[in-house]
């Protein structure tokens, strides 16, 4: 599996990945998951900032991590609704019809409401997540694929902040307790080790008050680029 993905990534690196609307011709790798840069709010909206649909639990957690960021332990990660805005060198004015999967809804509060914080010393990426009513799987509960998505995004961001651009090679998820829609959870991920191009991560999802373990997961990423 790792070897297959490595070959697949090597092909992508050789060929380059065409951005949509561009011909499939060799070009520099535009990166996959990459570290975003900060824009001023007037230029591009940062969706990781609080809005009126955030519950008190989500807002309280956000405030706690923001306090942690003032001491330098945690760094808040910006989040935009198009992948290209996360890539250095692509101008924000570029018109795009594509949207990042986790930021594709027009209305606040109905989909993924989340904010991530990075702890460099501990190689941890934490995501504070409030699933909205448009993320339903079982009646009243968050879809298993939605949980997989926030795990992929959080562990992937952690891998990127340590190692640069990566692609997902494996995702293994054990669902232990369903997550009710609207309940705030914390996705706590860590880069466990790096072996060559392979970046091994682990992840737990717990309720906002730490009382319930909802999900355990591991994810393997492959480093791209030089």
Residue 111 binds a copy of itself (CB under 8 A): yes
Q: Which residues on neighbouring strands pair with residue 33, listed in sequence order?
A: 166
Closest to a copy of itself by CB, 115 vs 155, is 155
203-214 burial code (b ≥16 CB/10 A, e <16): bbbbbbeeeeeb
Nearest of 130, 192, 104, 183 to residue 155 by alpha carbon: 192
Determine the Cα–Cα distance for residues 99 and 105; give it in Å rounded to an integer. 9
Q: How many other CB atoms sit within 10 Å of the CB of residue 82?
A: 19
Active site residue 60: no
Would you call 180 helix, strand, or coil by DSSP?
strand
Set 152, 188, 209, 210: catalytic member: 152
Interface pick for a copy of itself out of 13, 55, 144, 190 (rule CB under 8 A): 144
The encoded tokens of residue 189 equal 């991920």
- Total site size for a copy of itself, rule CB under 8 A: 62
Name the minimum Å distance from CB 105 to a copy of itself.
7
Interface pick for a copy of itself out of 51, 53, 63, 177 (rule CB under 8 A): 177
Residue 201 binds a copy of itself (CB under 8 A): no
* CB-CB contact of 184 with 55 (8 Å): yes
Interface pick for a copy of itself out of 5, 61, 125, 203 (rule CB under 8 A): 5
Sole residue written with tokens 């909205």: 132
Residue 28 binds a copy of itself (CB under 8 A): no
Sites of contact with a copy of itself (CB under 8 A): 1, 4-5, 8, 12, 17-20, 30-33, 82-84, 87, 97-102, 104-105, 110-111, 133-141, 143-146, 148-153, 156, 167-178, 181-182, 216
Catalytic residues: 152
């Amino acid at each position: 599996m790792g070897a297959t993905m490595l070959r697949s990534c090597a092909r992508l690196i050789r060929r380059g990945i065409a951005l949509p609307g561009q011909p499939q011709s060799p070009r520099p790798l535009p990166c996959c998951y990459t570290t975003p840069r900060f824009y001023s709010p007037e230029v591009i909206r940062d969706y990781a900032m609080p809005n009126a649909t955030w519950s008190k639990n989500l807002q309280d957690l956000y405030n706690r991590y923001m306090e942690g960021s003032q001491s330098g332990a945690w760094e808040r990660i910006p989040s935009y609704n198009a992948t290209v805005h996360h890539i250095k060198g692509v101008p924000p004015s570029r018109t795009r019809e594509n949207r990042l999967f986790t930021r594709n809804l027009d209305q606040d509060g109905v989909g993924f409401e989340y904010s991530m914080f990075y702890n460099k010393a501990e190689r941890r990426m934490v995501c504070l997540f409030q699933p909205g009513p448009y993320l339903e799987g079982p009646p009243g509960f968050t879809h298993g694929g939605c949980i997989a998505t926030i795990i992929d995004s959080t562990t992937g961001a952690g891998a990127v902040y340590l190692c640069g651009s990566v692609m997902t090679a494996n995702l293994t998820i054990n669902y232990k307790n369903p997550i009710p829609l609207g309940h705030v959870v914390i996705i706590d991920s860590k880069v466990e080790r790096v072996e060559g191009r392979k970046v091994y991560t682990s992840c737990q999802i717990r309720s906002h008050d730490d009382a319930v373990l909802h999900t355990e997961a591991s994810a393997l990423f492959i480093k791209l680029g030089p």
